Amino acid sequence: MGKRLKATESLKRLIKNYYDEYFSWAKEGKPTAWLNVGVPCEVFYAMDVFPFYPENYGAMCGAQKVTPELSQIAEYQGFTNDICSYARANIGSLLSKKGPVGELPIPTIQVETTNSCIMIMTWWRAVEKLFNVPTFVIDAPLVKMDSEGHHLDYMEMELKRMIDFIEEKTGNKFDKDRFTEIVKISNEGKRLWAEILELRANVPCPMNAGDIFTHMFPMVALRGTPPYVEHLKFLRDELKERITNRDFPVPHEKVRLLWDNLPIWFDLRLFDELEQYGIIFVIDTYTQAWGPRFMGIVDEENPIRSFGYYLGSGFLNVQIERRWQLMQDLIKEYKVDGVVFHSDRSCKPYSLVQPELSKLIRDNLSVPSLIIESDHNDQSGYDRNRVIERIKEFSQMIEMGRK
């Protein structure tokens, strides 16, 4: 149970270096930026502005189970306890100057895009107002399937405005050649990530869900940097090795499941625990957000427009038709036996379509689904045994159905 990847050790170093670097940039007074995951970090690396992702930091708060106490601090200042737990943890941490890595430096600027939720825009606004941080919102109106026509033109314009904003606020200039180099590196890593996701389709699956969620980090924060490519190569090769050596987390898979929504960051071990029953989550929709379908290869000839396309067609910026398409594709490609919807009370845009998706699956495919309730980042009220029992029962039902 819980067979660890060698790549996890190098990942820990990568994360540590990233946080160390953020702290030292801030200490030296070099420009730093807080971005939400929809904002392309490649532009910031190209402009020598250190990109930091508070959602990643939020996940760290979740993993270390400090969200409830940080939330209380935010609540005391008037932020309500039913907003996204990432936001509560982050705001609480800033107000108390406490958290998993101590006092978090306030960034020089913030950029966010509305391509995931409205929540995030108000979260960034909170930091803007609390600490006077100049903030730019990339307006990304919600699309049906993808960004095209005047929507795409608008996305391109918004990104150009963002570059003007960064130049104005940090004094750093945008250098097209440097940017192109970084885009090339970013694309190289994206190809590797696509390979990694594809390797998971192998039967048996070479990597469980807990590991893929952990290894998302370089895709989120390091795109365009050499260590990101190195790490993803290492991970890809290790998975290939596992397949060659037939060294699988669950050698005798009984049930192959799909996970929908963010993981439960404070209980990634849930996935390890389920392995002993022959249950493995072979794919999820969350890491697809950085995969070729939603964050594909950027056109090196026309990178800004291309980034605009992926930003405008981001995973949470499309409607149910595209989510349904993805679900069907993944079920087929990964030979999925059942779908588990994590109904995440913090994340409305991800969760509120799940009952309808579950209905579509029931009416159109011969694959069962299960909805479990939790929160991705706040363990209050989480009943681990019940979640495990429900997934076990669900899996048994799938097995029985086969007999």
- Nearer to other proteins by Cβ, of 151 and 215: the residue is 151
**What residues make contact with other proteins under the rule CB under 8 A?**
77-80, 82-84, 87, 114, 117-119, 121-123, 125-126, 129, 137, 139, 141-144, 149-151, 153-154, 157, 161, 319-320, 343, 345, 348-349, 351-356, 360, 373
Alpha-carbon distance 44 to 64, whole Å? 28
With H, G, I as helix, E, B as strand and everything else as coil, classify residue 61. Answer: helix
- As measured in angstroms, the least distance from the Cβ of 79 to other proteins is 5
Q: Taking contact as CB under 6 A, which single stretch among the options 206-214, 283-291, 295-303, 343-351 is the one that binds ligand SF4?
A: 343-351
- Nearer to ligand SF4 by Cβ, of 187 and 351: the residue is 351
- As measured in angstroms, the least distance from the Cβ of 35 to ligand SF4 is 12
Q: Does 53 bind ligand SF4 (CB under 6 A)?
A: no
Q: Does 264 bind ligand SF4 (CB under 6 A)?
A: no
User: DSSP alpha helices (H): ranges in 97-146?
Assistant: 119-131
Q: Are 54 and 36 in contact (CB under 8 A)?
A: yes
Q: Does 347 bind ligand SF4 (CB under 6 A)?
A: yes
Q: Does 306 bind ligand SF4 (CB under 6 A)?
A: no
Alpha-carbon distance 279 to 259, whole Å? 12
Q: Which does 122 bind (CB under 5 to 8 A by kind): ligand SF4, other proteins, none?
A: other proteins
Q: Does 120 bind ligand SF4 (CB under 6 A)?
A: yes
Q: Does 95 bind ligand SF4 (CB under 6 A)?
A: no
Q: Does 61 bind ligand SF4 (CB under 6 A)?
A: no
Give the CA distances from residue 111 to residues 41, 169, 313, 366, in Å, rounded to whole numbers and listed in that order: 10, 12, 18, 43
Q: Are 327 and 357 in contact (CB under 8 A)?
A: yes
Residue from the set 119, 220, 320, 388 that interacts with ligand SF4 by CB under 6 A: 119
**Pairing label, strands 50-52, 135-138:** unpaired
Q: Does 117 bind ligand SF4 (CB under 6 A)?
A: yes
- As measured in angstroms, the least distance from the Cβ of 143 to ligand SF4 is 16
Q: Taking contact as CB under 6 A, which single stretch among the options 111-119, 167-175, 213-221, 358-366 is the one that binds ligand SF4?
A: 111-119
Alpha-carbon distance 166 to 173, whole Å? 8
Residues in the chain: 403
Alpha-carbon distance 387 to 396, whole Å? 14
For residue 127 the two structure tokens come to: 């930091």
Q: Which does 95 bind (CB under 5 to 8 A by kind): ligand SF4, other proteins, none?
A: none
Instruction: Transcribe 164-233 into DSSP letters.
Output: HHHHHHH-PPP-HHHHHHHHHHHHHHHHHHHHHHHHTTSSS-SS-HHHHHHTTHHHHH-TTSHHHHHHHH
Give the CA distances from residue 366 to residues 131, 165, 257, 361, 392, in Å, rounded to whole numbers and listed in that order: 52, 50, 14, 8, 19
- As measured in angstroms, the least distance from the Cβ of 332 to other proteins is 21
Residue that the structure tokens 């020089």 belong to:
108
With H, G, I as helix, E, B as strand and everything else as coil, classify residue 122. Answer: helix
Q: How many CA atoms lie within 13 A of 307 on its CB side?
A: 27
Alpha-carbon distance 327 to 357, whole Å? 9
Q: Which does 86 bind (CB under 5 to 8 A by kind): ligand SF4, other proteins, none?
A: ligand SF4
- Nearer to other proteins by Cβ, of 249 and 314: the residue is 314
Q: Taking contact as CB under 6 A, which single stretch among the options 112-120, 185-193, 287-295, 300-308 is the one that binds ligand SF4?
A: 112-120
- As measured in angstroms, the least distance from the Cβ of 79 to ligand SF4 is 13
- As measured in angstroms, the least distance from the Cβ of 118 to ligand SF4 is 8
Q: Write out the binding residues for ligand SF4, residues 201-260 only, by CB under 6 A.
A: none
- As measured in angstroms, the least distance from the Cβ of 37 to ligand SF4 is 8
DSSP character for 39? S
- As measured in angstroms, the least distance from the Cβ of 88 to ligand SF4 is 10
Q: Does 84 bind ligand SF4 (CB under 6 A)?
A: yes
Answer positive or negative: Cα dihedral of 220, 222, 226, 232.
negative
- Nearer to other proteins by Cβ, of 28 and 82: the residue is 82
- As measured in angstroms, the least distance from the Cβ of 297 to ligand SF4 is 24
Q: Could you list the residues that contact ligand SF4 (CB under 6 A)?
A: 55, 84, 86, 116-117, 119-120, 262, 316, 346-347, 349-350
